[in-house]
Structure formats: structure tokens, C-alpha cells
Amino acid sequence: MSDTGLLVSFFLFVMGSVVTLCGLFLWRTEHAATPEPALGLIGRPRAGLREQVTGTLRLIGEILPNPFVSVEESQRSLIAAGYRQPSAITVFFGLKSFCALMFALVLGWVGLLGRGEPAAAFIMAMCGLGFGYLLPDLILRGAIARRVENLERALPPALDLLVLSIEAGQNLDAALLETGRELRSLFPDLAGELAQVQLELRAGRSRTEVLEALGSRTSCEELKKLATVLIDTERFGTSLAPALRTHAKYLRTRRRHQAQEAARKLGVKLIFPVFFLVMPSVFVVTLGPALIQMYQNLIPMVSGAGMP
């Protein structure tokens, strides 16, 4: 096949893929809206852009298979990132397939236009396919790390509120509910986890199972330690307020040590940017004029010495 025919074929393939995705998007938009019960109308309102995009990705995830991904592991990762919806795993698989196809098409087209060789376009398309397929996993890991950091930052004030509530005469369930309600505006992630604990307790699960699930689903080591403290105090019948106060003191001491460790590492980390970025510019500014002046003075001397 000639280069022109290859370009035309690739262009038709890209256009077909775009038209197919647009058709899926419009189909999902048409079928995702619900009737308006308040007005008694048969017409369907327009869904928001976020709902339309989510519905389209869910449809792609339902159509395209994902044989290389563990559903249970992806589900745990999504829950740790804060996505507890039942359709989150399907939307995530749809996002992986969509990113893989888009990166493959774009890089394959760039390789075909830049090199003009089908082999180069195929290699770049395969690279784009792999990168696009792994990109949502990298983004999800970053979201989990940010959420774990937010949870760890929220734990010391949450423990202080728990201590105050327990010392005021409330039991642990009421203290957890009140703490989550007070932290809803400042630390919504921890407030959501405490609300999930209350829902599971009302559903009839034991407190030990609920606290163990709290530590495991968030991937936060500090929440696991807090759950262990609460379980041990309930198991051995010890006083809860002193244990929580001690744990809050431990958390603040640990965060202070982490800040001191980061401050001590800063001097070592600054060596590389100073050596590779600052020092060359300093040498250029200080030695550059001297080198230019030496060059201008040495050229006439060398040319004069070479003359007969």
C-alpha cells in the first residue's frame, strides 16, 4: 500500500473511532435522563455534562473487556480513593480503554506524519496504547496518596473531639457521629469515613468488624492503628479517653518528627539543583566576561606572532 493510501486509511480509522464514540455519547445521553415526575411530563431533561461523560465511560467499560485487570484489586483501590459507587469500577475500566484508544490514535497519527513509515506509526501506537492504559492507574495512586495524607492530617483534631465527647458522657458511637458532623466542612474525607462507620453499625455489623473495615478500606496506616486502639480498649475494658489522648499525642509527635526529618533532608536535596542549575549560571555570569576579554586580547597576539 502506498503512503497516500495508508494516510487515507488511518484518517478513516480515526474518523470512524471518533464517530463511534460520539454515537455512544449521544446514545447514553438519550437514555440516561429520567422522566420528570413532579410535572407529570413524558419528556426527559438534559443531564449534566459530568453525568453524560460518566455514563459514556460506563458504557465503554461495559462493552470493552479488561482481561489484564483484577476487579477486586481495582475495587479496593477505588474505595481507598473515595469512590464507593457501584458503577465506579465500570467507569474506571471505561476510562482505561478510552485513554488507551485515544493515546494510540494520537501517537500513531503523529508517527505516521513525522516518519511516514507504517512500522514507526505502529510502534508509537502500541506505546500510546500501553501508556494510555496505565495512565488512570497512576492517577488513581496519586488520588489515594492525597486522600491518605488528608486523613492523617485530620486525625489529631478528630481525636481531640472524640476525647471531649467521651469525657462529656457520650458513648463511642455518638462520639464518632458528633466528630464526623463537626469535621464535615474542614476534613470531608474523614467525615465521610466516620459516616460510613455509622451506617455499617446501624446495619447490624459488629463494632470490631466495622473498625477493621475502616482501617483496611482506606489504606491509611494511622487509621488502622486507631482502629486497633479502639478494638483493644473495647476488648480489654480499659478507659477510652486516656487511650485516645495518648494516641493523639503520639500522632502529633510523629508528625513533628516527620517535619524535622523533611527539614534535615532539605539541605541534601538542594545540592543537586544548586550544583547542576545554579552553579553553571554563576560561572557564566562571573567567568563569561573574563573569557571573552581574554579571547579578544589573545587573538591579535596570536595573529601578530604568526605574521613574518
The predicted-structure confidence for 108-129, as pLDDT tens digits, reads as follows 777 777 766 777 777 888 888 8
**In the numeric block, which cell numbers belong to residue 70?**
483484577
Kindly state the average pLDDT of the residues 222-240: 85
Handedness of CA 85, 226, 158, 176 (dihedral sign): positive
- 107 C-beta neighbours (distance < 10 Å), count: 20
Average pLDDT of the residues in 263-283:
83
Helices (H), the chain: 3-32, 49-63, 71-80, 88-115, 118-167, 172-182, 188-202, 207-218, 221-236, 240-269, 271-273, 279-306
The three cell numbers locating residue 47: 443531564
* CA dist 240 → 119, 162, 173, 202 (Å): 67, 10, 12, 22
> Averaged over 215-236, what is the pLDDT?
85
- Tell me the pLDDT band of 44, cut-offs 50, 70 and 90: very low
Q: Compute the average pLDDT of residues 56-66.
A: 71
pTM as predicted: 0.69
Q: Which of 75-84, 120-129, 183-192, 226-235 has the lowest mean pLDDT?
A: 120-129
The average pLDDT across 265-282 equals: 82
Average pLDDT of the chain is: 77
Q: Write down the pLDDT at residue 236.
A: 82
Q: pLDDT at position 27, please?
A: 45
**Residue 211 burial by CB count (10 A; 0-12/13-18/19+): exposed, middle or buried?**
buried
Q: What is the largest CA-CA distance in the chain?
A: 108
Between CA 1 and CA 60 the distance in angstroms is 32
Residue 184's identity, in one-letter code, is: R
Highest-pLDDT range among 39-48, 123-132, 252-261: 252-261
* pLDDT band per the 50, 70, 90 thresholds, residue 60: confident
- Any idea what DSSP says for residue 35? -
DSSP string, 103-157: HHHHHHHHHHHHH--HHHHHHHHHHHHHHHHHHHHHHHHHHHHHHHHHHHHHHHH
